Amino acid sequence: MEQPARVIDEEDGNRQVQERKPRGWKTMPYILANEAASKIALYGVTANLTIYMSDYFNMSLLTANNGMAFLTLSASVPGFKPPKCNTSDQELGNCVGASTFQHAILYMSLAFLAIGCGGTVPCSVPFGADQFDKTDEQHEKETKSYYNWYYALVAGSIFIAYTVIVYLQSEVSWPIGFGVPTGLMAFSIVIFFLGTKLYIYVAPEGSIFTSIAHVLVASILKRNLVLPYPDDVDQQEKELYDPPISASKFKLRLTKQFRFLNKAAIIREGDINQNGSPKNKWALCSIQSVEELKCLIRIIPVWFSGMLYFLVLTQLMNFTYLQGIYMYHKLGPHFTIPPASIYAISYLALTLFIPLYDIILVPLASKITKIEGGITVLQRQGTGIFIIIIANVVGALVAKKIQDSPLSSDGTSSLSVFWLTPQLVLIGVSGAFNDVGQIEFFNTQFPEHASALATAVFYASQAVASYLCTPMVNIVNSVTSKNGKRAWLNDNDILVGRLDLFYYVVAILGVVNLLLFLVSAHLYQYKDMKIRRELSDSNYSEMSSSDTQ
């Protein structure tokens, strides 16, 4: 049975908390359409950014590889970019660099892009998940499918960005190529607001970081106290501070793991007011707050493994792209494949595999494992880590084949860019397992009122991995270029060097990560929730009996 959720309504300037039933999939056309349009816009801008900065801001490829409306202006207004540089001048290093003003326009464009993504990207997944009732068994099953279909839609949108939008930028014009994503972003905003009367708006409950600080301080202050019933967690739970929680949260059970933190919930004389609230939140915390901190601590090893996964993935994708630049791009006598479009193969594989996984593989696996979803989210992540290792090995074999192939008159490989297809397909399948697994894992294992932070952590791991790519490449080049030897990764021509050996090094890093992940997954304790929900007296006084929808 659907349970009403607390939402915020603004009526006649008065803030009211009212009831509204989660609509589940009925809200998805608006949310997913918004996400599709915005993702096409975002990746349509960023997909070809390396080429744009190389061709129009006269940066080297490696420099451009390691960094919305304003970006359109930078492509449209001649004064916002340096003079175009021909190929011969590029080779001789005679190109006129961008001025301080032109750099400022570019970086301001990227800054606005980053700020916008920082506000929307972490919130989009949990906002969609909020539209399902977590106490309803059918809604819970639909939520698992939501994560799959959300990521499939995102992958499909990125596929369109890497094909249609990149083609417009490379073959038509940069102003149009950036202008279309800008228009799509505006369209996505309109679509999103059309569904406002259907959405569930979960009321904010304060910062998770404040609660973390309370628990840490309280447990340290009470470090010399003895926990009641140290060997019986059920009896201990009855003795500790355990007030009713808000209607929008599941009750977390007390656990033995990290039990030092349980001391934060020990009740001393004079700790509680007459109404049951703590006199000092820095001295007394609820079991719920203690267990929420434990959730975050347990997640750290899995997050670290996810970051290493993205490091392995990003290195493969970066150098696959650079390989593609120096390969044969013709498809027939008249059509040339833009280098950035080779990523589309990966996202097409991801888009096609996720529905296959959700519709066919999950039901089959569920019959065998008796697990809803076929396999656990940690098993799903581990499968993705294993596949990305195989992708790097395949990438190494293909890189060796490319290096041994004869060169064309212009210094590029005579092999077609489609030789990169096997590793790109494996990248897509790996993402279907690990990326979706991480999103579901963080959104289900984080404290409920920190779901936006959960998605932010997922994307933060990607960002950290991207930053680590450059020092890793520099270290490899530094080690391999000793004693006058040629570095494995050449700045000017990626076909010269030993990219195949670099891929093997990355694969070894993936193996190390897989071993670390297996240990972390074995030791991980899933969040233990009580089925019932409890309402505090203050919640009853706040909630309206009317059903707005």
Which residues does residue 15 pair with via DSSP β-bridges, in sequence order? 10
Instruction: Give the chain's largest Cα–Cα span.
Output: 86
| Residue that has been written with the tokens 């009853």 in this structure | 540
State the Cα–Cα distance between residues 255 and 223, nearest whole angstrom.
Answer: 18
DSSP symbol at 24: G
pLDDT of residue 92: 46
The full 3-state SS of 190-250, as one line of letters, equals HHHHHCCCCCCCCCCCCCHHHHHHHHHHHHHHCCCCCCCCCCCHHHHHHHCCCCCCCCCCC
Helix (H) or strand (E) holding 16: strand 14-20
Instruction: Give the pLDDT score at 119.
Output: 66
- Look up tokens 């090995």; give the residue: 393
> How many angstroms separate the CA atoms of 346 and 74, rounded?
29
**What are the CA-CA distances from residue 396 to residues 316, 402, 430 (Å)?**
10, 10, 17
Distance in angstroms (rounded) separating the CA atoms of residues 459 and 122: 8
Residue-level pLDDT at 204? 67
Q: What DSSP state is assigned to residue 374?
A: S
CB 163 within 8 A of CB 344: yes
Closest CA to 283 of 220, 336, 233: 220
Separation of CA 35 from chain center: 14
Strands across the sheet containing 5-11 = 5-11, 14-20, 543-547
Is 253 in contact with 291 (CB distance < 8 Å)?
A: yes
**DSSP code at position 48:** T
CA 517 – CA 218 distance, rounded (Å): 32
pLDDT score for 89: 47
**Residue 525 belongs to what H/E stretch?**
none
pLDDT of residue 84: 55
Cα angle, residue 242 at apex, residues 236 and 247 outer, rounded to 5°:
140
Instruction: Show contacts of 12-18: CB within 8 Å, 24+ apart.
Output: 16/544, 17/203, 17/542, 17/543, 17/544, 18/543, 18/544, 18/546, 18/548
Residue labelled with tokens 């290792």: 389
For residue 150, the SS3 value is helix
Walk along the chain (549 residues) and give the pLDDT tens digit of each residue.
344 444 444 443 444 444 567 767 788 888 888 888 878 877 777 666 666 655 555 555 444 444 734 444 444 444 444 445 555 544 445 555 555 666 676 667 667 666 766 667 677 777 887 787 766 666 667 777 788 888 888 888 888 888 888 888 777 777 887 788 878 888 888 888 888 888 877 776 667 888 899 999 999 999 999 998 888 888 988 899 888 876 656 788 888 889 899 999 999 888 888 888 888 999 999 998 999 899 999 999 999 999 999 999 999 998 898 888 888 877 777 777 777 778 889 989 988 998 888 888 888 888 888 887 788 889 999 999 999 999 999 999 999 998 888 877 777 788 888 899 999 999 999 999 999 889 889 888 888 777 778 878 888 888 889 889 888 988 998 898 888 788 888 766 677 778 899 999 999 999 999 999 999 999 998 876 554 444 333 332 333 333 333
Residue 3 has what pLDDT? 43
Gap between the Cα atoms of 294 and 313, Å rounded:
29
| Whole-structure pTM value | 0.77
- CA atoms within 13 Å, Cβ hemisphere of 281: 8
- From the DSSP assignment, how many helices (H) and strands (E) are in the chain? 19, 7
489, β-bridge pairs: 497
Q: What local confidence, expressed as pLDDT, does residue 24 receive?
A: 77
Cβ contacts of residue 232 below 8 Å, gap of 6+? none
Exposure of 263 in the CB half-sphere (CA atoms within 13 A): 15
Q: Are strands 14-20 and 543-547 parallel, antiparallel or unpaired?
A: parallel
